[in-house]
Every structure is written in C-alpha cells, then in structure tokens.
C-alpha cells in the first residue's frame, strides 16, 4: 500500500489552486468538473501522482465556506484489489463504511474504511 492523496474541501477553488501552486510551489496535476454532482476535483503535488502523494482539492459548487472541523476529507491508499482489501480489513476487525463499488458520478472503483477516531480512509484500486 501507499498513500495516494489527502482531500480537503475548499470554498474558492481558484484561490486555493493559486495558494498551492504559487505559494507552496506545487503543480496542478489534473482537474475535472462533475456537473451532475456539482463539484470539481483538482489534484496538486510536487511530482507525478504515480510516484508521489498529492493533495486533492474538492470544490462543491454550492458551498462557499467550510468550518475547519468539517474541512477534512480523507486519506487515500492504493490497493491491488478494493474488494479483497475490504474483506481483509473487515477480517482484521476494521470497519468498512462504504462498500466497494463505482464512484458516484464516475466510474472509479473505491471504498471507505474508518480509523479508530472516525477518520475516513479511501481505498482505490491500482489504475492500469
């Protein structure tokens, strides 16, 4: 396993991208709008996603501000097989909070588990 990205919700996507690229020196690696879900995802980092972890900025079009307490999203881990990883985690006493399956408004196969404090961990299958 390896860490893929950490997601945070942002109220002003353009301002956030400017901060991470201009202030922190990251690169905008990719960006995609999901009109049916009314959100945009932007991924930023210091190198290729296939080699390094990055930050995922999620902008929900109808939300302009978040309290710090609900700004946290999740930590993502790459796994060989999302379905098997969930079965293994469950067998070891872990809690699966979102069963494996396609992403809403997309096709990526994912699942979520939670840590003892309730923080979300996203499991994503390796991309071919």
What DSSP state is assigned to residue 21? I
Residue 68 to residue 104: CA distance in whole angstroms: 25
Catalytic status, residue 51: no
Neighbouring residues of 18: CB distance < 8 A, sequence distance ≥ 6: none
For residue 4, is it left (φ>0), alpha (ψ between -120 and 50) or beta?
A: alpha
Catalytic residue among 51, 56, 78, 122, which? Answer: 122
- Residues tagged active-site: 122
């Amino acid at each position: 396993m390896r860490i893929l990205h950490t997601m945070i919700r942002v109220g002003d996507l353009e301002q956030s991208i400017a901060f991470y690229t201009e202030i922190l020196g990251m690169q905008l690696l990719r960006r995609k709008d999901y009109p049916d879900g009314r959100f945009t995802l932007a991924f930023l980092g210091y190198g290729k996603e296939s080699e390094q972890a990055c930050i995922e900025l999620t902008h929900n079009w109808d939300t302009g501000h978040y309290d710090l307490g609900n700004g946290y999203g999740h930590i993502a881990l790459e796994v060989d097989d999302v379905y098997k990883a969930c079965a293994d985690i469950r067998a070891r006493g872990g809690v699966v909070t979102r069963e494996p399956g396609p992403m809403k408004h997309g096709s990526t196969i994912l699942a979520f588990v939670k840590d003892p404090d309730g923080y979300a961990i996203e499991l994503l299958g390796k991309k071919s």
